[in-house]
Amino acid sequence: MTISTDTEAAVSEMPLSPLSFLIRSARVWENRPAVIDGNRTFTYGEHYQRVRRGVGALRDGLGVEAGDRVAALLPNIVEMLELHYSVPGASAVLVPLNTRLAGSEYAYILEHSGARVVIADASLRAPLTEALEALGANAPRVLWTGEGELPGESWNALVERSQPLELSRPDDERALLSISYTSGTTGRPKGVMTSHRGAYLHTLGVIAEAGLGASSSYLWTLPMFHCNGWAYTWAVTASGARHVCLRSVEAGPIWDSLRTGVTHLCAAPTVLFMLVDAEQAEPCANPVQVFVGGAPPAPTLLARAAELNIHVTHLYGLTETYGPTVVCAWNPDWDDRSEQEQASLRARQGVATIVTELIRVVDPEMRDVAADGESLGEIVMRGNNIMVGYYEDPEATVRAFTGGWFHTGDIGVMHPDGYLEIRDRLKDVVISGGENIATVEIEQALMAHPAIAEAAVVGAPDPKWGEVPVAFATLRGAERPDPEELREFARGRIARFKVPKRIEFLDELPKTGTGKIQKFALRERT
């Protein structure tokens, strides 16, 4: 039987949007705690009213119209969470900004996205001010959050005096919800476009894989700017669970939260390392579920976490896939395996989540490689939680979607049991502390120094950060700069966390017959 009238369609078909999660939770869990942010607490009813006032502030106070881009440069505070609803609720597009970038990087993203408004925390004033000065007359309007005297207009003051407006759900569920910027192989950030539909469906997968419920308490150690907090900004709310905001990631406050009821958190391996190594570390009274992305956690780290009643699940994904789309789902049949075998199994990237289509590993002709755990191929994906495309970059979008699949640029193997394992990356990206770092960006910064002829950067294993960038360089002449001087030179051009941890000078870089640098040979030197 087919739908025959518009009336029937209106009853049985509603555009999917994560906005519906907050609308429901505000009614179902109105008086239950929604957000704890330091000494500020909000019930779901209060949280919803704050979000509605945020919609009023954007529309009436700032004149934001449908489709306008609104950038957010904020740590993990309640205002950042609210903007994940207020901005799309005003029919606008959220542009979350990485809080660790340099002024020049902010300038590029703000200009490329066409953001009309930026809501920023006063603690990030210096790099944002540099970006605004670079943009000049084209700079967006800025409103500030933070304690004490603010450098300009107050976002919270505008919210408090604004009239609450209803959240505007999209007529088209494929409407743009957010643009998240990520570095590609060129080092120039790309704007990853995500839709209301994709965010809604990806959120359902997060809830199922994480086991979130109304009694859950989620600690914000993962940046909300990173893939919209892997959709936990919406998943925790949809579950009626409690958000616990954390302005900065420090061992003491995290352990305080673990002792007072936190059940879930997400993190890079570096955060897990910090937790198990902290002086406050002691076994948790109740199990804590930790979801780790980035470099695979070391077996010894997993064992130490387990002793503290912290249970780690390894994930894999990209900004282009709304965050993790692959989970190392634990098979109960593995319970009797040796500890060494279990650690090896946990370090694999895993299988598609329940809302992700099957993952493939293919050869250059798009044929599936043998599922033998050894045959290499590129990891490709498709499904509802794949980006709409790259903002204002149709050529890059076409390349990424070649053959009707999203090409991750990662090289992996498929095991006989259907579990994926990454072996290398086509994209020269170092994953350090959960941050993706394009090596070419570092190389360009180093080669801007007059003494450097060539530079190549690779990732070196690191027990704390997972990987760190290490540089190899050749010189233009007899001048040999001090490595620390060169690192300081790079700090003036790129964010501090991208600066190589070590710089080694070589007479020449290893190359192929066609002149391409052999980075695998350099990795062997790390």
Question: Using an 8 Å Cβ cutoff, are 126 and 25 in contact?
Answer: no
d(CA 364, CA 373): 18
In a shared domain, residues 508 and 445: yes
User: Which pLDDT belongs to residue 440?
Assistant: 72
Identity at 424, one-letter amino acid code: D
Q: Point out the domain boundary residue: 388, 409, 427.
A: 427
In a shared domain, residues 264 and 190: no
In a shared domain, residues 69 and 172: yes
In a shared domain, residues 405 and 389: yes
Asked whether residue 400 is assigned to any structural domain, the reply reads yes
pTM: 0.86
d(CA 306, CA 166): 45
| pLDDT less than 50: residues of the chain | 1, 3, 184-186, 512-514
- pLDDT tens digit string along 342-376? 877 887 899 999 999 989 999 989 999 999 998 88
Say which residue the tokens 């634990």 belong to. Answer: 330
Bridge partners (DSSP) of residue 517 are 511
Asked whether residue 241 is assigned to any structural domain, the reply reads no
- Domain count of the fold of the chain: 3
Q: How many CB atoms lie within 10 A of CB 501?
A: 14
Quote the tokens at residue 253: 């406050």
In a shared domain, residues 312 and 354: yes
- pLDDT tens digit string along 286-345? 999 999 987 667 677 888 899 999 999 999 999 999 999 999 999 999 999 987 788 778
User: Which pLDDT belongs to residue 304?
Assistant: 87
Asked whether residue 32 is assigned to any structural domain, the reply reads no
Helix (H) and strand (E) counts for the chain? 18, 26
Q: What is the b/e burial string over 365-393, where b = at least 16 CB atoms within 10 angstroms of the residue's CB?
A: eeeebebeeeeebbbbbbbbbbbbbbbeb
User: Which pLDDT belongs to residue 295?
Assistant: 64
Residue 98 backbone class (left: φ over 0; alpha: ψ -120 to 50; beta: rest): beta
Range of the domain at 262: 249-427
In a shared domain, residues 278 and 160: no
Asked whether residue 504 is assigned to any structural domain, the reply reads yes
In a shared domain, residues 438 and 415: no
User: Which pLDDT belongs to residue 514?
Assistant: 39
In a shared domain, residues 81 and 136: yes
Nearest to 131 by CA among 147, 148, 113: 113
In a shared domain, residues 459 and 492: yes
* Residue 359 φ/ψ, nearest 5 degrees: -90, 140
Question: Using an 8 Å Cβ cutoff, are 291 and 315 in contact?
Answer: yes
